[in-house]
Amino acid sequence: MRVLVAMSGGVDSAAAAALLQAEGHEVLGVTMRVFDYSDRARGRSCCGPDDLEDARRAARRLGIPFYVADLEEHFGRSVVDRFVEDYLDGLTPNPCIPCNSEVKFDWLLKRARALGGKLATGHYARVERRGGRYALLTAADDAKDQTYFLYRLGQDELAHVLFPVGGLRKPEVRAAAAAAGLANAAKAESQEICFVTDGDAARFVELRAPGRVREGELVSTSGEVLARHGGVHRFTVGQRRGLGVTGPAPRYVVRLEPERGRVVVGTADEASRAELTATDVRWVAGAPPPGPVEARVRVRHRHEGVAGTVRPLCGARAEVTLSRPVRGVAPGQAAVFYAGDEVLGGGRIAR
């Protein structure tokens, strides 16, 4: 089979290419150039110039054709601009989700299919045929699982993607890369958001949208003004650190009010919710279940999830009731629904 492997320059996607080649597939490599790093500090970041060279080197070592796809504009529009707009709008975006659904598993996947093949990535997730359809399953290595970012994949996409490292644990992946003679076998993990190279999302927003950042008031749930703040984009619902207020009891961000420029803070209880509405909901099976389903619900990437009931509503929405209140259910993040190791679907947490 012909397989186009999305190579980031990291060890996982290089190992994916090596594993597929060892299985006898015709492997081609592609790196997306998605962001112009020329004006910012170079670091160990995904898709920067160093990573592109690492990917090229791995492809050369494997002796496979290697392409560079210039997706800066597409990525800028679909991922970076939205990331900035969401923060200014008092939401907490997760840019890996649109990157996967609109860049990797749309643009790249179309190219792979045009070549008559499938697309492989180094994501930690698994795909299996279950009951006559494709199931998206959590990775064998729980700590590395990336299904939270992949819930928007449907049947058509899953039929044409491969996750060669999803059944392996990280040390096995490094060993596979080393066995193939790949220099990036010992490469460090990349940071959370590939285009925020210094990890400071708020500063990134300020650099991208100067003049649109508004200072405002930090208030208690009873309306008392406690401090001033540098913009709602600096806060996330559930956040405790960096609020700039002191007091006997810890305070958390309860909600953001972008139109008034306000950040509302309160107790841990006030910052917790057991109900949420998800919008723009996708179901991996292709259609919503006929009625409410019991699921494990994760409300952010590093959340193990809690039991809940998901009620599909019309208009690609769902109402979710959690079995206990969870702190930091942040609008803009995804709520992803699982049944055992299977991803049922997910949506965006509404305000």
Ligand X SMILES: Nc1ncnc2c1ncn2[C@@H]1O[C@H](COP(=O)(O)OP(=O)(O)OP(=O)(O)O)[C@@H](O)[C@H]1O
Which member of 3, 4, 11, 185 binds ligand X (CB under 6 A)? 11
Q: Look up 46 and say whether it is catalytic.
A: no
Looking at residue 45, its amino acid is: S
Residue 20 binds ligand X (CB under 6 A): no
Which member of 3, 4, 13, 231 binds ligand X (CB under 6 A)? 13
The three-class DSSP label of residue 24 is: coil
Paired tokens of 183:
């220099």
User: Nearest Cα to 257, choosing from 203, 214, 294?
Assistant: 214
CA-to-CA separations, 323 to 252, 320, 330, in angstroms, rounded: 21, 10, 17
Residue 121 binds ligand X (CB under 6 A): yes
| 306 class by beta-carbon count within 10 Å (0-12 exposed, 13-18 middle, 19+ buried) | middle
First to last CA, the chain: 45
CB nearer to ligand X: give 106 or 257.
106
Query: Considering 46, 47, 96, 99, which one is annotated as catalytic?
Result: 99
Paired tokens of 6:
């999305």
User: Nearest Cα to 154, choosing from 335, 283, 289?
Assistant: 283
- Phi/psi for 11 (5° steps) reads -70, -35
The three-class DSSP label of residue 175 is: helix
Q: Look up 194 and say whether it is catalytic.
A: yes
Q: Which residues are annotated as a binding site?
A: 6-13, 32, 122
CB nearer to ligand X: give 32 or 320.
32
Residues 139-198 that bind ligand X (CB under 6 A): 190, 194
Residue 8 binds ligand X (CB under 6 A): yes
Residue 47 binds ligand X (CB under 6 A): yes
CB nearer to ligand X: give 145 or 342.
145
Residue nearest to ligand X as judged by C-beta position: 10
* 4 contacts 105 by C-beta, under 8 angstroms: no
Which member of 25, 123, 234, 255 binds ligand X (CB under 6 A)? 123
Residue 91 binds ligand X (CB under 6 A): no
CB of 326: closest distance to ligand X in angstroms? 25
CB nearer to ligand X: give 45 or 272.
45
What residues line the site for ligand X (CB under 6 A)?
6-8, 10-13, 31-32, 34, 46-47, 104, 121-123, 190, 194
